[in-house]
Amino acid sequence: MADPNVVFQQCINPDCAATYDLGQTLYACTRCGQLLDIRYDWARLAVPKKLSDFQARWASRGNPLDRSGVWRFRELLPFFGSADPVTIGEGQTTLQQADELAAFIGVKPGRLFLQYEGFNPSGSFKDNGMAAAFTHARMFGARQVACASTGNTSASLALYAARCGMRAWVFIGAGRIAFGKLSQALEYGAKTLQIDGDFDACMARVQEATKRLGLYLVNSVNPFRLEGQKAIMYRVLESLSWQTPDWIVVPGGNLGNSSAFGKAFLELKNLGLIDRIPRIAIINAAGANTLYRLVEQEGLRWNGGRVDAAKIDAFFARMKAENRKASTIASAIEINVPVNLRKALRALDASNGLVREVPDEAIRDAKAAVGKFGYGCEPASAASVAGLRRLLAEGVISPGERVVCILTGHLLKDPTATVDYHVKMDRELSNKPIAVADDIEAIVAAISGSEAPNSEFGIRNSE
């Protein structure tokens, strides 16, 4: 095992800062109850002198660790010591330069990029985190793993558990998760508990059950999971030839991603591997907007780790009194009690970031636009593009800035949302199927009557 003086867990509360060794499977500080970080004494670890050194690993893709989009950067999450990291090929994702979408939403050519995490083995960014969490679980002999989920965590957990020979328990709100995701959990053999409640209820129950039964919890309160998700930012930088973009725009649900991104950039900056941190814009769905309200309306800040706990408590007390429940088409981020709230505040502070909310209609339209230009994502992911549209309209982001939107999950995760938009709704980009008789003349008439596509854009790498 790694030397506990070099790699350890630490409470994020600066007034507590309790430390724990890696073998302690904890999801909160036992002294003050706040979140834990994985911390490294970098001076005693071998870290590459420059980020471009990682590129050498493209030449040895026969080695599964070099092929993994997480473990290719293993010196930046070196908690595994001499253990074998778990990998099933996560992180083979690409950063797409999306000029057509850019033109559509008013960004200059060459300035908008989509980080397409739907290419992961289970179809979402969660696999980055699971590779790290399962590595830790296996290091300490876990046999049963558990999570609460709006769908993607459960799909990813189920897949990794199947490959690692562990029993998986997933807690989902009955009727709350998209069928693509539910089908994955069932097919990969996870035991699925459909709880009569929403995600926030499932999250509370799974934490209680984990404590009682000694299950290994892989929700993003698990600090090892967030270590894996840092790699999404390493790959973004790699795709931009190690240049820092101006903005990272990311949907916010339980706030694991934004927290991990903030930690990744803070560490890189402290290591002298980057000279500035991009601004992080976290986008809430308007129907699940706790972070937006707390930060943008109530002025909650990280404040050097001394967060105004009374403000948070009062906010949640009001939410409870009003019986306010999260509700949005973006079911993946239908979360009102984000567990990583404080770490997300830290990420916002480190990156001079901000939070916006977007209504469901804007999410649906942004999703259709992402799909129309040949990418595709699930509703929660499109919140990033809807958020970018809003920030452009506000003049906060200018058309010439370099922006990366994170597309967190695959289009096929939620076919119901997609089909409803095109078949049942009359929106700007609805693409209704055309009903035609089984008759060649009628078919020819239907085809002849439709407009030819605009050929101004196209794939340029074949020219």
Task: Write out the residues near ligand F0G by the rule CB under 6 A.
Answer: 124, 149-153, 220, 251-257, 332-333, 378, 380-381, 408-409
Q: Which residue lies nearer to ligand F0G by CB, 2 or 332? A: 332
Q: Which residue lies nearer to ligand F0G by CB, 8 or 171? A: 171
DSSP label of 294: I
Least Cβ distance, residue 213 to ligand F0G (angstroms): 20
Least Cβ distance, residue 408 to ligand F0G (angstroms): 3
In DSSP terms, 8 is beta-bridged to 39
Cβ-contact 407, 384 below 8 angstroms? yes
Least Cβ distance, residue 347 to ligand F0G (angstroms): 11
Q: Which residue lies nearer to ligand F0G by CB, 200 or 238? A: 200
Amino acid identity at 148: A
CB crowding 192-222: b at 16 or more within 10 Å, else e: bbebebbbbbbbeebbebbeeeebbbbbbbb
Least Cβ distance, residue 381 to ligand F0G (angstroms): 5
Other C-beta atoms closer than 10 Å to the C-beta of 340 total: 25
Q: Which residue lies nearer to ligand F0G by CB, 239 or 381? A: 381
Cα angle value 29/349/338 (rounded, 5°) = 50
Q: Which residue lies nearer to ligand F0G by CB, 277 or 377? A: 377
Q: Which helix (H) or strand (E) holds 262?
A: helix 256-270
Q: Which residue lies nearer to ligand F0G by CB, 101 or 333? A: 333
Least Cβ distance, residue 108 to ligand F0G (angstroms): 27
Strand ranges, E, within 142-290: 144-149, 167-173, 191-195, 216-217, 247-251, 279-285
Cα 320 to Cα 94, 151, 305, 323: the distances in Å are: 41, 24, 26, 5
Least Cβ distance, residue 339 to ligand F0G (angstroms): 8
Residue 412 CA to residue 26 CA, distance in Å, equals: 34
